[in-house]
Amino acid sequence: MVTDSQLPAGNQIEELRVSDDVPVQALQLRSLVTDTATVSLSLELVDVPVPGPDEVVVRVAAAPINPSDLGLLLAGADLAKVTVGGTADRPVVTAPLPPAAARAAAARVGESLPAGNEGAGTVVRAGSSEAAQQLLGKTVAVAGGGMYAQYRLADAAVCLVLPDGVGAAAGASAFVNPMTVLGMVETMRAEGHSAIVHTAAASNLGQMLNRVCIEDGIPLVSIVRSAEQVRLLTGQGAEHVLDATTGTFMADLTAALKATSATIAFDAIGGGQLASRILTCMEAALSGDEPFSRYGSATHKQVYIYGGLDRSPTELTRGYGMAWGVSGWLLTPFLRKAGPATFAAMRQRVAAGITTTFATSYAGQLSLQAALQPDAVAAYARMATGSKYLITPNGPAE
Amino acid sequence: MVTDSQLPAGNQIEELRVSDDVPVQALQLRSLVTDTATVSLSLELVDVPVPGPDEVVVRVAAAPINPSDLGLLLAGADLAKVTVGGTADRPVVTAPLPPAAARAAAARVGESLPAGNEGAGTVVRAGSSEAAQQLLGKTVAVAGGGMYAQYRLADAAVCLVLPDGVGAAAGASAFVNPMTVLGMVETMRAEGHSAIVHTAAASNLGQMLNRVCIEDGIPLVSIVRSAEQVRLLTGQGAEHVLDATTGTFMADLTAALKATSATIAFDAIGGGQLASRILTCMEAALSGDEPFSRYGSATHKQVYIYGGLDRSPTELTRGYGMAWGVSGWLLTPFLRKAGPATFAAMRQRVAAGITTTFATSYAGQLSLQAALQPDAVAAYARMATGSKYLITPNGPAE
């Protein structure tokens, strides 16, 4: 909310509008769930905000579509039934919600929501404070939602200035995946583990975690779903990569867990038996090292579910004693708990390695209009390895 | 292991044997899983131990059969196929293990294991230390396994002297259920919750938790499986008792969770969807109090599974955001983490209330021989409300 006292007086506003080449209104992507159980994606013309003293306006050049964006964007809609309407400039994509998705989305019915967790662009307007003024003209990465828009207001304090020579496309994914990867490593350390298991490990995030673990000397067990993905990660220096679709998976996983002593896993799949299988193999890897107890090994075994690629229920067979846990894991509460010093250190590490360790690769760029076409929706909603897209609201980005 | 230096010299042993009316050998119940996938319960004649300086020998008067004893005792055997052999004095009960139970018991094949987590009796021999000598003739409660025996060696330090006038039968269950109940309350406090959900809540343990929560002013939501059990707990002053078999269970549970703000549950069932339903209702009770987030409420919701009345897999639908956890919970690691001061305070509270707050009721008493009969095995293995038995290895106990 901008208060009167924060507004430039009189014709200063007009002057700004002319001088900085920023339009009065610009497009913002919105997701709306209706009371007839449909979700619509549309482009709304909204006022370009005027920054308060400690705020800036970013002209968004690039914003990735992460799996974590799709829930808000698509609300679990049936994507086999996408239809498109509207105009070429402002298409409207609509899809029906299955009953379970409609129930889950009840709290957001009728509320037109902006989307896009992170992105990068140029600071085109800055508030009066020194912190804000220093950002003028800089290329910055921003997180916090509403990035699928041509312009976005941001606190100066949350802007991460990208290193010289790093463009917005290269810096667009500086938050969600990098901070999640570092958050996993920090969680592992904070909870007294020394190695990590990761599922859906051929993803952009999985490849990044592999690079961080190699840098930090942390043993990593990567679980993937094809021989091709095994080759991909092995080619990037991963030592323990297991294909969950093979007949020897359980034995191979147990051996890898014995070799690495991994007792914490981060699972992007969520549904089915994978989390339970990991706990079973952890327990098998531990047995023999400890005296027999009918309550199982005394070592705590933890699976954190941080994604839901498989929406079916998680099935836990509980054949792994009593020292186990399965929990949801989310970046934001982790960062809150970790505190500002850890957060700042993580951000600096990301900025320094944004084109190397923390680099993201994309399948392509989509304008706001192109993102609202059935084929495009189908492509980015697949959440498959190699299908990550960038939305570029102000034209192609570098 | 008793070393030479700890043994009384020369004929002192003989003298002890005569003077204290303790036999040289006595019966101990054993459970053995064989490599042909059967479990046998038998009575073995073992040497009555000679106590070291800080040890005592307890003539066991009464030891309860808790659900937590049945795993070691029966190893998940198919109880429809129990057979009995041996002699009247020393019967042998045998039952086959289904394949999954046999796999789970692999580590104990061929190892004849004593059983019985807790019990009470009279100290009939004491080592030379003052702590041990002070216990001579006292009625004490002991925990630590192997209590289904006529005599058991114990560290003097672990013996809980029962208050004057409290017999062994009344004090036999002074550890497992009372310490579990207090452990749940301590866990609730340590993890920042203010109310508790409990399942299978009409059990001896559930009734005890109800009494402790009333004493401590802690809101408790008890989940049971029949109208009769609702009446039982309501008659004992419980305010929120819900029958999970009714059609309005989910709505009733949500209302009770809203009224109590309970965000931690202790679940004795384990299998099926109950844990997940509790999380679903906790989330529903929280929604509305917090701003909408597609990641669900920010309040952590925890279910601890401490039993396995239903051995089928735990099914988690995950429709409750990301701030949730399901974990195993076991008394021993909790006590280790809680530390000796908390442990001592808990024990004192139990001793003071052993015939009131922490009283246990039994369906009957079984001699060691009677416990090894098919009908008896079927009765105590039911783990139903009101079917808890005492094993009385030295004749009827008071």
Alpha-carbon span A323 to A299, nearest angstrom: 6
Interchain contact, A332 vs B295, CB within 8 Å: yes
Alpha-carbon span B127 to B156, nearest angstrom: 9
The pLDDT of residue B165 = 92
The pLDDT of residue B6 = 42
Interchain contact, A325 vs B326, CB within 8 Å: yes
Work out the minimum CA distance from A33 to partner chain B, whole angstroms.
13
What average pLDDT is seen over chain A? 92
Alpha-carbon span A339 to B158, nearest angstrom: 43
Average of per-residue pLDDT across A75-89: 94
The model's pLDDT over A280-336, given as tens digits with 9 standing for 90+, comes to 999 999 986 666 677 788 999 999 999 998 989 999 999 999 999 999 999 999 999
Pair A62, A169: CB distance under 8 Å: yes
The pLDDT of residue B100 = 87
Interface test with A, best of B276, B281, B326 (most A CBs within 10 A): B326
Name the interface residues of B facing A (CB cutoff 8 Å). 71-72, 100, 104, 107-108, 111, 270-271, 276, 287, 292, 294-295, 298, 305-306, 308, 313-319, 321-330, 332-333
Q: What does each C-alpha distance from A31 to A93, A146, A206, A381 come to in angstroms?
A: 10, 11, 28, 15
The pLDDT of residue B14 = 42
* Nearest residue in chain A measured CA to CA from B75: A294
The backbone region for A189, taken as left when phi is positive above 0, alpha when psi lies in -120 to 50, beta otherwise, is: alpha
Interchain contact, A328 vs B332, CB within 8 Å: no
**What does pLDDT average to in each consecutive run of 10 residues of chain B (398 residues)?**
41 45 95 96 96 97 93 92 95 95 89 96 96 96 95 95 94 96 97 97 95 98 97 98 97 97 97 97 86 80 95 95 96 92 93 95 95 93 80 94
The pLDDT of residue A17 = 44
* Nearest residue in chain A measured CA to CA from B333: A298
The model's pLDDT over B16-66, given as tens digits with 9 standing for 90+, comes to 443 468 999 999 999 999 999 999 999 999 999 999 999 999 999 999 999
Decide if pLDDT at A350 tops 90: yes
Q: Percent of chain A at pLDDT above 90?
A: 84
The pLDDT of residue A106 = 87
Of A164, A157, A163, A168, nearest to A132 (Cα)? A157
- Up-side HSE of residue A275: CA atoms within 13 Å toward CB? 34
Pair A240, A230: CB distance under 8 Å: no
* Nearest residue in chain B measured CA to CA from A329: B322
Of B165, B138, B116, B148, nearest to B354 (Cα)? B165
Q: From the list B111, B315, B327, which residue is nearest A315 (CB)?
A: B315
B155 sits in which H/E element: strand B151-155
Q: What does each C-alpha distance from B146 to B28, B59, B218 come to in angstroms?
A: 8, 12, 35
Average of per-residue pLDDT across A342-363: 94
Interface test with A, best of B264, B300, B314 (most A CBs within 10 A): B314
Task: Say how many CB pairs under 8 Å bridge A and B.
Answer: 88
The model's pLDDT over A159-174, given as tens digits with 9 standing for 90+, comes to 999 999 999 999 999 9
Interchain contact, A316 vs B318, CB within 8 Å: no
The amino acid that residue A179 corresponds to is M
The backbone region for A120, taken as left when phi is positive above 0, alpha when psi lies in -120 to 50, beta otherwise, is: beta
Alpha-carbon span B236 to B232, nearest angstrom: 7
Work out the minimum CA distance from B131 to partner chain A, whole angstroms.
30
Alpha-carbon span B153 to B127, nearest angstrom: 11
Burial of A289 (0-12, 13-18, 19+ CB in 10 A): exposed
B324 contacts on A by Cβ (under 8 Å): 327-328
A325 contacts on B by Cβ (under 8 Å): 325-328
Work out the minimum CA distance from A274 to partner chain B, whole angstroms.
13
The model's pLDDT over A251-270, given as tens digits with 9 standing for 90+, comes to 999 999 999 999 999 999 99
Res. A385 pLDDT band, cuts 50 70 90: low
Interchain contact, B316 vs A313, CB within 8 Å: yes
The model's pLDDT over A8-40, given as tens digits with 9 standing for 90+, comes to 444 444 444 434 689 999 999 999 999 999 999
Alpha-carbon span B304 to B183, nearest angstrom: 12
The pLDDT of residue B19 = 46
The pLDDT of residue A156 = 95
The pLDDT of residue B38 = 97
The pLDDT of residue B107 = 84
